[in-house]
Amino acid sequence: MRKLAKALVSATAVIGVAAGGLATAGTAIAAPAPTQQQTATSEAGTLAVVNLGLSTRQAKNVQCWLKHWDYKGQIDGLLGTNSWKAFQNYLEVARGYDGDIDGLVGPKTIQALQRELATAWDYNGEIDGIAGDQTKAAFKRFANAQAVYCS
């Protein structure tokens, strides 16, 4: 009888520890992220950089050129929201961009960019709003040509 009681107490202890561990694990998984992490994630979305394959130097070239299109940000080689807002301003005037001037690089922005790249930057692909290899290669040619604005 003593062995049976000992085994029962041991089994109960193991089950209790396991259940407590699972309860704790479930609570840890379900716990909301701290406010600081949530804020950082929100800011990261706002500060997204979309260089479309450009090097830092090439992106700086584009930013120098964008100064003519109301870009007031730093020449840092990071094409973020403000860089793309300025680019959308240009694309609205020159290439029929009819989306929001929001700095988000969506299909309408890419289509207008592709129309620009087709005019003088050897882009021969579809105007499909997808920034594929041909779009990126033509965008690099465009960016290289804008180096004259950074002198």
73-95: pLDDT as tens digits: 999 999 999 999 999 999 999 99
**pTM of the predicted structure, to 2 decimals:** 0.69
Residue 104 confidence (pLDDT) above 50: yes
CA torsion sign for 119, 120, 124, 129 is: negative
**Tens-place pLDDT, residues 108-124:** 999 999 999 999 999 99
What number of other Cβ atoms are within 10 A of residue 59's Cβ?
24
